[in-house]
Amino acid sequence: MEKYLVKETTSEPRVELDAQKNLLHFEGESRPEDVTNFYAPILKWVEEYGDYLKSSSSSNVEVQCVFNLDYFNSASSKSILDVIESLAGISEELPECNIKILWYYDSMDEDMKEAGEEFQMISQLEFEFHEAE
């Protein structure tokens, strides 16, 4: 499965989606001008990744999804939740697959931590919360 990479800009996060490493990584600010267009290929990749995991011979896979976002707007919030819910769907279909969300937030940014807690509650996935350095 192809790796998916997006370089960080002032309004778009750096995105690394790597099936070989079982890693999804989002970093920076997410406020793209066209949120739907930005996140559509990411959501497609996650869907294909679920199919890839189903057909994979290794059943006990640990997947890490890292969100180290400084800021995201409300439109991005919906798309980030869509990514997390897609991962939750994979987790339901493949209970032997351990999907863990690592949520980083600035210690002074209570809203970012609360957003992660809300996503955790909605998705029922395992989240680890870390103060960003």
pLDDT value at residue 133: 77
Beta bridge partners of 39: none
| Domain parsing of the chain, residue ranges | 4-131
Class in CATH terms, 4-131: alpha beta
pLDDT value at residue 60: 79
- Residues 96 and 80: their CA atoms lie apart, in Å, by 24
Q: Which two tokens stand for residue 100?
A: 């863990």
**Mean pLDDT, the chain, as a whole number?**
95
Put simply, whether the predicted model's pTM sits higher than 0.85 gets the answer yes
CB atoms within 10 A of CB 41: 13
pLDDT per residue as tens digits for the range 19-43: 999 999 999 999 999 999 999 999 9
